[in-house]
Amino acid sequence: MNTQAHDLIDNQGTAHVHQDPIGAKTGMWLFLFTELLLFGGLFIIYAVYRGQYAHGFTEAASHLNVWMGVTNTVVLLTSSLTMVLGVSSLQRNNLGLAQLYLSGTILLAFTFLLIKFFEWGAKRDHGIFPGMEHLHSMPHGEGLFFNLYFMMTGLHGIHVIIGIAVMIVLYNRLQNGTLTRENQGQLEYTGLYWHLVDLVWIFLLPLFYLTN
Amino acid sequence: MENSKTLTAAKHHDDDLHILPDKTQLNVFLALIILTIITVTASVKYPGKIGIGVALVVTPLKASLILMYFMHLKYERPVFVIMFLVAISILALLMGLTIVDYQFR
């Protein structure tokens, strides 16, 4: 914490951490809008190529495992629920419960990545992976579909990994008492980021898994 | 006197956190799961136009639930909703114009 952050002293002589929740929340939302446009750009590429290679896209999509996609959707939705419940717990000053919910969210995030790992691995076994000969030799539409699939789920996966890293930091702060109801915004805004990651996945599901 | 009273009230308002009941969030979660089941069932049982149509309707609905309740947008000051609508409109414009451009080229 820097010195500027707690230079307000009230009449009782207690130190106040200067906070600007509206400003902080605005900043977080502005960041989320850039994320929206980042993924939005990829969605446009997907839409245009799907319009041009409708058959190839449908053919390629039938090779993806619907149930893995659906399982991961349920995993991410559940992690979003544990996240909001964790934020509410912290806001109600129930630190232990907040920590429990946060650890649940982290575990579910790892579960998501594990399922993704097996899914990508299965595709790799069939020669479908960026840089592999088989993927290059596929018909144009199918090749585009799989390249977009790896690009978009990969970018989404990076967001999940970043989310896990931030949540582990916050878990430790709850543990050593530096994250309390007073500065609960840290968890609340991480929650906003986590829900956006969930939101992007909700659109990825029909685009890649439910296209046959 | 009047002024200081309003000031205290305003200050308290800022400190006050609006917390949704856990039960509400649980209901939102259940709705999201049910909507997911609907989309997947439609896509598996009726592949093609019906499946895609259902996904096109239900997916934005799911997104709205997450935005309004999990991301708390329904209970924020109007400025947050306006900011969001501006951002999403720009994305929709970009998307719409690009797709129209490719369709009628």
pLDDT digits (tens, 9 = 90+) for A104-128: 999 999 999 999 999 999 999 999 9
Model pTM?
A: 0.89
Answer yes or no: is B9 within a domain.
no
B43-50 CB contacts, 8 Å cutoff, 24+ apart: B43/A66, B43/A206, B43/A210, B43/A212, B44/A66, B47/A212
Q: pLDDT above 90 covers what percent of chain B?
A: 75
Question: Hey, which residues does A15 pair with through a beta bridge?
Answer: A9
Gap from A133 CA to chain B (nearest CA, Å)? 30
Q: Domain of B93?
A: 77-105
CB contact under 8 A, B103 and A77: no
| List of chain B residues whose C-beta atoms are within 8 Å of the C-beta of residue A190 | none
Taking CA atoms, A125 is separated from A147, A182, A197, B31, in Å, by 16, 50, 28, 37
Count interface pairs A-B at CB distance under 8 A.
109
Give the dihedral sign, CA A75/A77/A79/A81. Answer: negative
Same domain (yes/no): B58, B84 = no
Q: Is residue B65 part of a domain?
A: yes
Residues A8-36 as b/e (b if ≥16 CB within 10 A, e otherwise) read eeeeeeeeeeeeeeeeebeebbeebbeeb
Q: Which residues contact A104 (CB under 8 A, 6 or more apart)?
A: A79, A82, A86
Nearest Cα to A181, choosing from A105, A97, A104? A97
B31-47 in b/e burial notation, b at 16+ Cβ within 10 A? ebbebbebbbebbeeee
Q: Using an 8 Å Cβ cutoff, are A198 and B66 in contact?
A: yes
By CB atoms closer than 10 A (0-12, 13-18, 19+), residue A184 is buried
With beta carbons under 8 A apart, name residues in chain B contacting A78.
29
- Please give the average per-residue pLDDT across B60-86, as a whole number: 96
One domain for residues B91 and B67? no
DSSP, collapsed to helix, strand or coil, labels residue A211 as: coil
What is residue A3's predicted lDDT score, i.e. its pLDDT?
45
With tokens 């930091």, the residue in question is A169
Q: What is the pLDDT of residue B16?
A: 67
DSSP assignment of A54-74 equals: HHHHHHHHTTS-HHHHHHHHH
Quick check: ipTM above 0.95? no
Q: Is the pLDDT of residue B1 over 70?
A: no
With a CB-CB cutoff of 8 Å, which residues 73-92 of chain B face chain A?
76-77, 79-80, 83-84, 87-88, 90-91
Give the confidence band of B58 by pLDDT, cuts at 50, 70, 90.
very high
Q: Per the domain annotation, does B10 fall within a domain?
A: no
Q: Which candidate, A183, A197, A190, places its Cα nearest to that of A169?
A: A190
Residue at B6 is within a domain = no
Number of structural domains found in chain B: 2
Decide if B76 and A43 are in contact by the 8 Å CB cutoff.
Answer: no
The average confidence (pLDDT) of chain B is 87
Mutation target to probe the A interface, by most A beta carbons within 10 A, among B17, B35, B39, B83 is B17
E strand or H helix at B78, and its extent?
helix B78-103
Q: A29-209: CATH homologous superfamily?
A: Cytochrome c oxidase, subunit III, four-helix bundle (1.20.120.80)
- Contact (CB<8Å) B25/A22: no
Residue B4 lies in a domain: no
Any domain includes B13: no
Residue ranges in chain A whose pLDDT is less than 70: 1-17, 212
Which of A33, A91, A211 has its CB closest to that of B19?
Answer: A91
Does residue B65 sit in helix, strand or coil? Answer: helix
- What distance in Å separates residue A203's CA from the closest CA in chain B? 7
Residues of chain B with Cβ-Cβ distance to A10 below 8 Å are: none
- Measured between beta carbons, the chain A residues lying within 8 angstroms of B70 are 80-81, 83-84, 191, 195, 198
Report the C-alpha gap between B2 and B33 in whole angstroms: 50
Of B51, B77, B95, the CB nearest to A47: B95
Q: Which of A37, A66, A84 sits opposite B25 (nearest CB)?
A: A84
Residues in chain A with CB shorter than 8 Å from the CB of B98 are: 44, 47-48
Residue B103, domain member (yes or no): yes
Together in a domain, B49 and B85: no
Which chain B positions have a beta carbon within 8 Å of A25's beta carbon?
A: 76, 80
> Do the beta carbons of residue A79 and residue A71 sit within 8 Å?
no
Q: Which tokens belong to B86? A: 């501006």
Residue A16: predicted pLDDT: 62
All residues at 6 or more sequence positions from A25 whose CB lies less than 8 Å from its CB, including other chains? A185, A188, A189, A192, B76, B80
Q: Where are the domains of chain A?
A: 29-209
